[in-house]
Amino acid sequence: MTWSKFDRMLKRTAALITVLLLSTAGTASAREPLVVGGTLASVSEAPWAVVLTNTAATRESKRWCGGVLVAANKVLTAAHCAGERVASYGVIQGRADLTDHSLGRFSAVSKVWVHPAYSTATNRNDFAVLTLKKPMTGVPVLRLETNPKADRRGAVPTVYGWGDTADTGPDDTLQKLAVPDLGDATCLGIKGYAENGYTAAANICAGYMDGTGDACQGDSGGPLVLNGRLLGIVSWGRGCAEPQYPGVYAEIAPVAKTLVEQVR
């Protein structure tokens, strides 16, 4: 079974997640708080970050995945998050703490588009675009990165999400983490990552080889941001914040044209 299939299985049987995370909780160093090892983020610094909810989620918040507002009525997320019935989805914007129902906005989803080349075998093209019933008018949207050279070793993008923290932060609360771009060679050199579909042309390898922090379950589909542009989408990884296993992101630039067609 590939890790991504494993991830999808986890989504359906969410109860196991905590058990898996216990082993990583002790490895997140104090240097930087997730996401695993992240710090609190505010809605004002990431207004385009949204939560994708699903009625099948076991958590009370119904948190399912992350997403990013790319037009008033369009949310980009991961294809592996978008396999349920359209009517089962919702999108929340403006609510850093998901228990605070007095804040933010909610919209139902009227349409789900999954990238036609999405492959569950290789995890390639892990992109989906949701159309909102109620546009989030007035909320700043995030521009797509179109330059494939923006993914370069040494850049330091930031990942945002409400996903699991392995007790490094509060649950269901927007966290952020700077994750150094480690370069494609790093992930291609990791046992299992190439077999699991990692490809230089369509993925970004980012995070910490020492397990300092990482995106985690529930962050999938959320934004990886560099210089005010959407560089990538949280896609997969082995566990979360495990030493030697950084995060894998779906790279926007190579598919920006295809995505833009879905966004207007």
> Which 85-144 residues touch ligand ARG, going by CB under 6 A?
none
Nearest to 246 by CA among 41, 64, 46, 24: 24
The only residue of 38, 183, 213, 247 in contact with ligand ARG, by rule CB under 6 A: 247
State yes or no: is 101 an active-site residue.
no
Nearest to 142 by CA among 71, 236, 88, 199: 71
State yes or no: is 126 an active-site residue.
yes
155: region left, alpha or beta (phi > 0 left; psi from -120 to 50 alpha): beta
CA atoms within 13 A on the CB side of 8: 15
The only residue of 218, 226, 232, 256 in contact with ligand ARG, by rule CB under 6 A: 218
Which CB atom, from 38 or from 218, has the smaller least distance to ligand ARG?
Answer: 218
Q: What are 173's two structure tokens? A: 């609360």
CB of 36 to ligand ARG, least distance (A): 8
38: region left, alpha or beta (phi > 0 left; psi from -120 to 50 alpha): beta
* Residue number, nearest CB to ligand ARG: 237
Residue of 126, 172, 184, 214 with catalytic role: 126
Q: Is 7 in the site for ligand ARG (CB under 6 A)?
A: yes
Q: How far apart are CA 97 and CA 95, in angstroms?
A: 5
Q: Is 219 in the site for ligand ARG (CB under 6 A)?
A: yes
Q: Is 151 in the site for ligand ARG (CB under 6 A)?
A: no
Enzyme catalytic residues? 80, 126, 220
Contacts with ligand ARG by CB under 6 A lie at 7, 65, 163, 214-220, 234, 236-237, 240, 247
